[in-house]
Structures are given as C-alpha cells and as structure tokens.
Amino acid sequence: MALLLIATSGDAIAAAPPPTLGFEEGMSAEEIGQTIAAIEAHPDQADPFQWAIVAAREFERGNRLRATFWFYMFQIRSRPWARADGAGSGAAALRASLNATLGPTVNAWIAADPAIWQDVATRAIAFEARLPLHPDRPEGMDEAAWRRLVAEQRAAYAAEARSAFADLEPAEVARARRENGLPSGSLTDQGRPLDESWR
C-alpha cells in the first residue's frame, strides 16, 4: 500500500497547510515511530494531512484500530480545507487522493464489527472537536470565517455519520461481507488500543 508518496499534483501538495510536526522522506523506522508518537500526543501541532499519514503508518505497523481512528480524524479536520479550496486542485484534490488510497483499506477492515466501527467514529468526532485548530488556515480567509467554516463542516460530518450508522443494519453488513469474501464479527489484528483520552 502506498503511504507517504501518494500520487497528487505538485499544486495539491503545495496548497496543503504547512505542518509543524510531520513526516519527511527518508525517515528511518525509528524516526517514523517517534513522529507518530509526537503527533498522537500533540495532534494540534500537525496539519490534518499528516494525520492521514499517521493512519497509514499505524495500519502498516499492525495498529489497525488506531489507524482507523486517525483516518476519521483526518477526514473531519481536512474537510473545511477541501471546502475552502475553490479551484478544487489543492487541498480538495489531496484529500480526495488520500481518501481513495486509505479509505477502502481502513473501512473494509473496521466494518467487520459495526459496533466497534461506530464507537471509533464517534470517538474521533468527539476528540477532534476538543482539539485546538492548527495555526494555519487557507490563504485569504480571516480567522472568523475560517472558524465558521470549520464549525459548519464539523457539524455536517457528524450529522452524516449519525445518519449512516442509524441506517446501518449489522445483519445486512455481515451478509454483504460474506458475499464478497470478507470476514465479519470479531476484528482481528487490532493492535494497540485507542488512548483513553481519545474521546
């Protein structure tokens, strides 16, 4: 699975908010582990596109539950960046690429247990809402407008998640997974549990 270098345009990468904590090419396994730990301890010091890389790296390391949590964190926090990208070729394109790369893998695993799936998503929504915003914001947008957009997109994501889980029928999910050769029931390879504070 491609992780750090995901095919996007140079414009898309340049348009993403610059990180304070983040990953770099050529990092050793030890440095990657240290960066994951730093971002997980201080997520507001990294932009949400770095959270997607945390998700990818955690999945690689076998910490699939944590990977799912950070993927949903990325989805929530990157959404206003994508909406603010009027041209659609910057943060919006990068978010779409990361969603397409990570989403199928993460969701195919977590959906084996709909109850845990909902719990992880609910915890990500709650934890993201408590975090301070990264100091950067889209170019040309003042702080008040940015905070309004963040609040709107945060609420929209939460509402969509509630609706999706309300309509979810575990028996139907299990049937569809069996038909597609996917396991259902107890999740395997969860790895490290979520931190208790992540809620």
State how far the Cα of 98 lies from the Cα of 187, in Å rounded to an integer: 24
Residue 3 has pLDDT above 80, yes or no: no
Average pLDDT over residues 80-93: 95
Q: What is the pLDDT of residues 137-186, one digit of tens each?
A: 999 999 999 999 999 999 999 999 999 999 999 999 999 999 999 999 88
Reported pTM = 0.88
Tell me which of 90 and 1 has the higher pLDDT: 90
More confident residue, 190 or 1: 190
pLDDT band at 1 (very low <50, low <70, confident <90, very high): very low
What's residue 192's pLDDT?
A: 97
CA distance 3 to 52: 9
Say if CB 84 and CB 138 are below 8 A apart. Answer: yes
Whether residue 108 has pLDDT greater than 60? yes
In this predicted structure, what is the pLDDT of residue 149? 98
Nearest partner of 42 among 51, 32, 55, judged by Cα: 51
**Confidence at residue 131, expressed as pLDDT on a 0 to 100 scale:** 97
Rounded average pLDDT over 4-13 = 37
- What is the reported pLDDT for 188? 87
Grade residue 21 by pLDDT with cuts at 50, 70 and 90. Answer: confident
User: Helix H segments across 42-195?
Assistant: 48-60, 64-84, 91-110, 114-130, 143-166, 170-179
Question: Does the pLDDT of residue 49 top 70, yes or no?
Answer: yes
| Whole-number percent of the chain with pLDDT over 90 | 85
Residue 89 burial by CB count (10 A; 0-12/13-18/19+): exposed, middle or buried?
Answer: middle
Of the candidates 114, 106, 78, which has an alpha carbon nearest to the alpha carbon of residue 93? Answer: 78
103, pLDDT greater than 50: yes
